[in-house]
Amino acid sequence: MTTLVKAPSFLSVEEATRILQAARGRPRDYVLIGCLLYMGLRVGELCRLTREQVNLAEGYVRYVGGRKVKREVLVPIHPALRDDLAAYMSTVKGPRLFPLTVRAVEKLVKRVAREAGVHRRVWPHLFRHTFVTLLRKQGADWKQIQALVGHSSIKVTMDFYSGVDLDEKRRAVERLPTLR
């Protein structure tokens, strides 16, 4: 018997854009959602992120990731986030960039999604799925994605994220030659 593995849910580009725009007037919220979306951080990794882990001059974030096996992960800071991250960091008093609980981040993400008019279930890890999906759609290979999300093996990354969405299936079928 074959077991079907459901591909992870992800936000559309329009939904992600609307959520980011809804947070725009609140620097902490905007940067927090930007870190989830542009770096693929897990919510726990985000909550533990410190200013020492952010290298603005070189343009990357270095953190310890992984659920089972802890490993160092190096993620470039997306250009769209760099200036906002720098400005936000200048306002942070303590060592942690987001001194929030996981539950507080979950509530924040839900509230901002609601404000953005995204009427579906939105949770922090959905941004990680969106990050990986967008990377794949832009042509990133599995090895790059594995390194960016801190998975222990490429098999874990491929097994979890290799679902094919309906648009990809449609494009594949449309490329078939017309036979008459």
DSSP code string of 158-175: HHHH----HHHHHHHHHT
Looking at residue 168, what is its pLDDT?
62
Instruction: Give the CA distances from residue 158 to residues 4, 123, 136, in Å, rounded to whole numbers and listed in that order.
Output: 15, 22, 11
Determine the Cα–Cα distance for residues 133 and 94; give it in Å rounded to an integer. Answer: 33
Give the tens place of pLDDT for each residue, 42-60.
999 999 999 999 999 999 9
Q: Does domain 13-174 have CATH number 3.30.360.10?
A: no
Q: What is the pTM of this model?
A: 0.84
